[in-house]
Amino acid sequence: MIQAVKGTRDILPPSSSVWNHVEETARKVFRTYNYQEIRTPIFEETQLFARGVGEETDIVTKEMYTFEDRDGSSLTLRPENTAPVIRAYIEHSLHQQPGLQKLYYIGPMFRRERPQKGRYRQFYQIGAEAIGSDSPAVDAEVIEMVREVLLQSGVTGFEVLLNSVGCSECRPRFLAALKEKLSGVAATMCQDCRRRVDSNPLRVLDCKVPGDQPVIDSLPSILDHLCPACAGHFQLVRKFLDDRGITYQVKPRLVRGLDYYMRTTFEFVHEALGAQNSILGGGRYDGLAEQLGSRVAAPGIGFSIGEDRLVMSLEEGSPGLHRHRLELYIAPLGQDALRHSAGLAYQLRQRGACVELGADAKLKRGLEVAHKLGARFTLIVGDNEISTGQYALKNMATGEQESISGSQLIERFPLY
């Protein structure tokens, strides 16, 4: 038997209804903040990610699905979507459009990671990018917006983590201090940290190995090395969040795994997810557009929600939440009743009701199916009901049964 490839999965009902709820909620929130959808290809030239994400990052060195096309070019399934969005921004000269470019996306990404709870090799992200401003007010608005997505989706109990990773002026000084400190302690750390000391020392701060945490706690703090501009920017971001009453925790060790981040970085974490507790992360990436060939400066900030992990937090926190609900099961008794019932089902569906039309001519079997499907009501339609115009409507929760006319039935289920 052929099964799904390792690290992938089928999203089946009733879980798929939770996914739909999350995506519909995100789209609604994005509309209120004037974001519009962008859809990029699921594969791009490999060089886009090597230049944008960073050649020494784990994503590029270990995790990308890269293949050679028939013309010899190297293509990669997208491991993230910020670089593709910026590529599209440059390619289509979106900087010429008025105002801030506010774009969102929903779709699959691909990384060859070790599968674990809430983490898959084909995974899904909901993300947004605000391009064209370096204002700390935009940073705060993005954090506010993603917080609304979580709250309106039904997620509670999360925590906002906040940091600044500086800029091209102050980060080199911090990296020099970090390397100096690491040179004396790296030998006691995990293999990945020892490798990163020279290639990507900032990523050492993101290590999750328990034995390395005391060493990481002793390392220099980026907040002690920020230049005046970055320190002022970070202070204003915090003030804008304070003004909104949005609580957060400053985490000097919080870094993002991609090279393009600068200044503001943030994560939302949730205890229901265990050790790998991040629901989403984001940050500012001023300079990425220029790095990818833009002649026009395009400072930006964005985030991506791990939709798999978000859905998991919803399902584990409230089992059965947003489960699709069948409103009416129609049990026709015979072929004439089936034809008649099809007309009733059509009228009810036109009003937005969720209706299942049975095809079994036996009442007992029909009621069993309605119960298993979780229908709120069952409508019994036989020859006698058709001739009198009065149908038997059974409440499946209480067992009560009432007689109802066709017009009363139609009115029972409101329009959308």
Q: What is the DSSP string of 104-173?
A: EEEEEEE--PPPBTTB-SEEEEEEEEEES---HHHHHHHHHHHHHHHHHHT--SEEEEEEE---TTTHHH
Q: What is the pTM of this model?
A: 0.83
**Cα–Cα nearest to 15, from 320, 273, 278, 279:** 320
State how far the Cα of 194 lies from the Cα of 23, in Å rounded to an integer.
Answer: 40
- E strands present in 224-293: 249-250, 262-270, 278-284
Q: How far apart are CA 246 and CA 370, in angstroms?
A: 46
Give residue 397's pLDDT. Answer: 92
Please tell me the distance from the alpha carbon of residue 285 to that of residue 261, in angstroms, as a whole number. Answer: 5
Question: What CATH class does 328-412 carry?
Answer: alpha beta
Q: Which pLDDT score, from 0 to 100, does residue 151 have?
A: 93
Q: Map residue 335 onto helix, strand or coil.
A: helix
- Output the CATH code of domain 15-170+226-317: 3.30.930.10
Q: What pLDDT was estimated at residue 273?
A: 59
pLDDT at 359: 85
pLDDT of residue 58: 67
- In three-state secondary structure terms, 245 is coil
> Looking at the chain, which residues constitute the CATH 3.40.50.800 domain(s)?
328-412
Reading the block at residue 217, the tokens are: 């706690």
In the chain, CATH 3.30.930.10 sits at 15-170+226-317
In angstroms, the CA 155 to CA 148 distance is 10
Residue 159: per-residue pLDDT: 92
- pLDDT at res. 116: 74
Phi and psi torsions of 263, nearest 5°: 50, -125
pLDDT score at 210? 82
Predicted pLDDT at 411 = 87
Give me the pLDDT at residue 275, please.
54
CA pair distance 382, 403, nearest whole angstrom: 13
| pLDDT tens for the chain, residues 1 to 416 | 999 989 889 989 888 888 999 999 999 999 999 999 999 999 999 999 888 676 666 677 778 889 999 999 999 999 999 999 999 999 999 999 988 999 999 999 999 988 777 778 999 999 999 999 999 999 999 999 999 999 999 888 899 999 999 988 888 888 888 888 887 777 787 877 877 777 777 778 877 788 778 878 888 888 988 999 999 999 999 999 999 999 999 998 887 656 678 899 999 988 765 556 788 999 999 988 888 888 888 999 999 998 998 888 888 766 555 566 889 999 999 899 999 999 999 999 998 899 999 987 788 898 999 999 889 999 999 988 898 989 999 999 999 999 999 889 988 877 65
- C-alpha–C-alpha distance, residues 158 and 271, integer Å: 7
Exposed / middle / buried, residue 372 (Cβ in 10 Å: 0-12, 13-18, 19+): exposed
